[in-house]
């Protein structure tokens, strides 16, 4: 209902929605990605860089482990040589 209300009033909503022209969309190479038009508020929800890097490295390690497991399963199943 909140988003529907924004559409009905058809005006910018700070940090949430922006009404743009076709020319503005064309200038963005017709990309409708919200982040091209509305930037999220910068606030306390952004972790310190050290924490962000640590979390990224941990997530990357989990991705690598998952890839290794997928590779193993696919090789055992004969789908990957």
* Whether residue 39 is found in the same domain as residue 58: no
Query: What string of pLDDT tens digits covers the 81 residues of the chain?
Result: 899 999 899 999 988 899 999 999 999 999 999 889 998 777 767 888 999 999 999 999 999 999 999 999 999 999 998
| Contact between residue 17 and residue 4 where contact means Cβ atoms under 8 Å apart | no
What's the pLDDT score for residue 14? 87
| DSSP 8-state class, residue 11 | S
* Whether residue 53 is found in the same domain as residue 36: no
- Structurally, the chain folds into a number of domains equal to 2
DSSP letters for 27-73: HTTT---GGGT-PPPPSTTSPPHHHHHHHHHHHHHHHHHHHHHHHHH
* Whether residue 55 is found in the same domain as residue 22: no
pTM: 0.47
What's the pLDDT score for residue 40? 76
66 is in which domain, residue-wise? 47-81
* Whether residue 30 is found in the same domain as residue 16: yes
* Whether residue 61 is found in the same domain as residue 29: no
* Whether residue 6 is found in the same domain as residue 27: yes
* Whether residue 56 is found in the same domain as residue 76: yes
**Cα 41 from Cα 48, distance rounded (Å):** 16
């Amino acid at each position: 209902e909140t988003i529907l209300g924004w559409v009905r009033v058809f005006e910018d909503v700070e940090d949430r929605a922006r009404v743009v022209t076709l020319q503005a969309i064309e200038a963005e190479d017709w990309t409708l990605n919200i982040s091209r038009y509305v930037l999220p508020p910068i606030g306390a929800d952004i972790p310190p860089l050290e924490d962000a890097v640590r979390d990224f490295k941990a997530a990357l390690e989990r991705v690598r482990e998952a890839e290794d497991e997928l590779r193993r399963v696919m090789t055992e199943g004969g789908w990957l040589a």
